[in-house]
Structure 1
Amino acid sequence: MNPHRTGRSLTAAAAAVVLSLTSAGFANASAGVPRDHGEDEITVGIKFDQPGIGLKTPDGTYTGFDVDVATYVARELGHDPSDIVWKEAKSADRETLLQRGDVDFIAASYSINDERAQKVDFAGPYLLAHQDVLIRADDDSIKQPSDLNDKKLCSVTGSTSAQNVKTELAPDAQLQEYGGYSECLTGLENGVIDAVTTDDSILAGYASQNEFKDKFKLGGFKMSNENYGIGVQKGSDLKDRINTALQKMVADGSWDAAVEKNFGPAGYRNEPAPKIGVVVE
């Protein structure tokens, strides 16, 4: 049997396999009950609603940069793409999913920070994103963050991105909070909103969709550093194995290809691939 496979059979004959996989970091009994799935399967948490990052399409397939990264990593861990069980990892649920052992790892626009690192471990970073704004392609009035003053700025309800602009960069911006970024983009397209703010990678993913082609552009403001990492259970040696996979992905050109495939249509000027294991403050 391939030692990288994540067998979960609870029969007496497979007890030794379960123990070996536990030591490899796929199941941590102290952190949560191991999943019960097929011996070749690996469960990966991603976003289901972020075009260009992680999106579940109407036909049931999954697309996006995080999907491509996770698929590459899973293959390096010994799993074919058909072995992957995709699980939605909403922002508020990510730590819980890992702590309970509901997923093997999470790649879901998951920014590394000190608070999260107390609860889970991170491989990576595999992408350096920045807070930015998306504006209409023909809008030349917003050239720097301060130009957002008196403009209608949109983000999702509860987002820290819009508040960062309001408190630090453009206090007179007229903040509009919607339930989702798709609503913000509809408002931007219709002229009801002047700018949308969140991570530039997320904005580029939306702008790359066919229905928005050539309608929007990124401001390129780089208002924060967001180091996307792959989350694993605390103490899991899976972190080191994923880092090795990410280093190979960068070295063989697969990382660049995934960036161009998912963000290219938006003219996203991404940062070069980050050095794996080095978080940019």
Structure 2
Amino acid sequence: MSQASEPGPAGPTAAVPAPSRATRIRQIRLVGLVVVLAVLVAAVIPIVVAVGPPTRDELLEQAGLKGRQYLRIGVKDDQPGIAQQFSNNVWKGFDIEIAYMIAGYLGIDRSRVRFLPIESEDRARRQAREGDGFVTVDLVIASYSITRQREEEEGAVFSAPYLATEQSVVTLKSVEGRDQVSSLEDLAGQRVCTLTTSTSSQRLREAGATPIGRNKISECIQLLYDGQVYAVTTDAAILAGFVTGDQPNDDGQRFTVGLRNAKPLRHWDIGSSAQEMWGVNTGSNLALRDLVDLALYASAKDEKNTAWEDAYDANLRWQQRYNLPQSVAEQQQPEPRKVEVRQWPWERIALPVPAHPGSSPNRVTRAGRVGWRGRGRRSSGC
């Protein structure tokens, strides 16, 4: 065998360079940083969970709504445009739509909302009629003005306001041209009907009028039709529906008032400077109050959430032309109360405004809505 065919000796193996001292230090630091971060996460998460604000699910648990099959809501049943009960247990009005909006946020479908008629004097105690008796409702959404007396003396616990209106007066339209009502003082010496527990009663006494109290505003309107009182006073948003319902020209949106001997009414702007801010009474269930405020916050701040505007347009905005010069209600939702809820960063990205279960996935933005004129303040007649 020739020398050329013999295998030669194996060549030297290439040496793997040892990591430099600087590289080893960087690796050690990286491992140390990962360990420190892991320790911090393990330490911080229990602290956040223990002392941080509750999550929405925790609020639902605290409010006793987990697994609830229905939600009882006390509402008025005789206020056209606000809350009115029709045949076959059909309910319509601004308060009704606000109730559905809040129920949707709570995860309660419309079909599981039970509306129960509630009288004015029972709103603080949340006692509504059901059959032959009374039950305690979860929420009261019944044109209920927020006042310190109702909070401090009567025990009502209010959400943030959801509508701003003001006190006004209606008379029979035939009074126009003979007498002008530009202030409550113009009613001095007159019998004026209002709700028994209304904030209007004291103002009438101070103006020299004789307040006649009734449990239902429709009863006051009937007294006006019958000539037993000179005027009716309460919140403009409540009175507007009766004025609109008695218009001679039916444009397809006329309300059914259903009272005897109905006559055309005139709505008077009395220059009231005090705002009537309507709120939801949740009673002592503070977790439920926070959830209601979260729903109102989502409605006010989420540009894709038009539930409040839809309710206003369908029930209040179109009435304005029948009620001039009195403003029906401000077209802007009052500023909501911000409630802190615990959300992880990835939740905030996925759910930028507090999650709104029950919202329609096909909502259009406010800017894209036909006829939406922005959220500017309507003249209040102040």
Normalising by the smaller structure, the TM-score range is: 0.7 to 0.9
Structure 1 unmatched ranges of 5 or more: 1-19, 28-37
Offset, 1:229: 0.9
Aligned to 2:32: none
Aligned to 2:284: 234
Offset, 1:61: 0.9
User: Which residue identity does 2:70 align to in structure 1?
Assistant: E
Aligned to 1:113: 147
Offset, 1:79: 1.6
Q: Does 1:102 align with 2:131?
A: no
Aligned to 2:203: 164
Aligned to 2:297: 247
What do residues 189-237 of structure 1 show as CA deviations (whole Å, max 9, x unaligned)? Answer: 4655432111222212332334579633242532633221111132521
Among 227, 232, 243, the alignment partner of 1:207 is 243
Q: Does 1:258 align with 2:317?
A: no
Q: 1:149 to 1:223 in 2, by over 3 A?
A: farther
Aligned to 2:337: 277
For residues 28-39 of structure 1, the aligned pairs below 5 Å read 39=68
Offset, 1:87: 2.2
For residues 138-153 of structure 1, the aligned pairs below 5 Å read 139-140=176-177, 141-153=180-192
Greater gyration radius: 2
Offset, 1:69: 0.2
Deviates more, 1:114-123 or 1:52-61: 114-123
Q: Are the equivalent residues in 1 in contact too, given 2:204–2:210 (CA < 8 A)?
A: no
Among 62, 73, 82, the alignment partner of 1:24 is 62
Structure 2 unmatched ranges of 5 or more: 1-57, 128-133, 246-254, 339-382
Report the TM-score when normalising by structure 2: 0.55
- In structure 2, how many angstroms separate the alpha carbons of the residues matched to 1:237 and 1:189? 45
- In structure 2, how many angstroms separate the alpha carbons of the residues matched to 1:176 and 1:233? 29
Q: Are the equivalent residues in 2 in contact too, given 1:133–1:221 (CA < 8 A)?
A: no
Offset, 1:77: 1.3
What do residues 143-180 of structure 1 show as CA deviations (whole Å, max 9, x unaligned)? Answer: 2332223444222456552441222xx31x35445564
- In structure 1, how many angstroms separate the alpha carbons of the residues matched to 2:90 and 2:72? 15
Aligned to 2:266: 216
**Greater RCO (CA < 8 Å, at least 6 residues apart):** 1
For residues 123-138 of structure 1, the aligned pairs below 5 Å read 123-137=159-173
What do residues 229-280 of structure 1 show as CA deviations (whole Å, max 9, x unaligned)? Answer: 11113252122221121123334333233223223324343123211139xx
- In structure 2, how many angstroms separate the alpha carbons of the residues matched to 1:101 and 1:188? 32
Q: Are the equivalent residues in 2 in contact too, given 1:26–1:236 (CA < 8 A)?
A: no
Bigger fraction of residues in strand: 1
Q: 1:257 to 1:214 in 2, by over 3 A?
A: farther
Offset, 1:75: 0.9
